[in-house]
């Protein structure tokens, strides 16, 4: 099944949701741990590109 999604600015949506959570004193929709995991993945991709070999990501 093919799903076609509309174009959107994900950074704007993320910023809006974060701002709303702060203003309404609620939990942020994306925890800090997600950002840390994303950065670890990016670091592994860079290491792999530089070394030309597979990198483990845990």
The pLDDT assigned to 24 comes to 98
Instruction: Reply yes or no on whether the pLDDT at 57 is more than 90.
Output: no
pLDDT at 56 over 90: no
pLDDT reading at 58 higher than 80: no
**pLDDT per residue over 4-55, tens digit each?**
989 999 899 989 999 999 999 999 988 889 989 999 999 999 999 999 999 9
Cα distance between residue 55 and residue 17, in whole Å: 33
CB 23 within 8 A of CB 15: no
């Amino acid at each position: 099944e093919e799903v076609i999604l509309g174009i959107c600015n994900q950074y704007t949506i993320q910023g809006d949701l974060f701002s709303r959570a702060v203003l309404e004193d609620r939990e942020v929709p994306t925890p800090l741990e997600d950002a840390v995991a994303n950065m670890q993945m990016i670091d592994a991709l860079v290491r792999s590109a530089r070394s030309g070999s597979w990198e483990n990501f845990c």
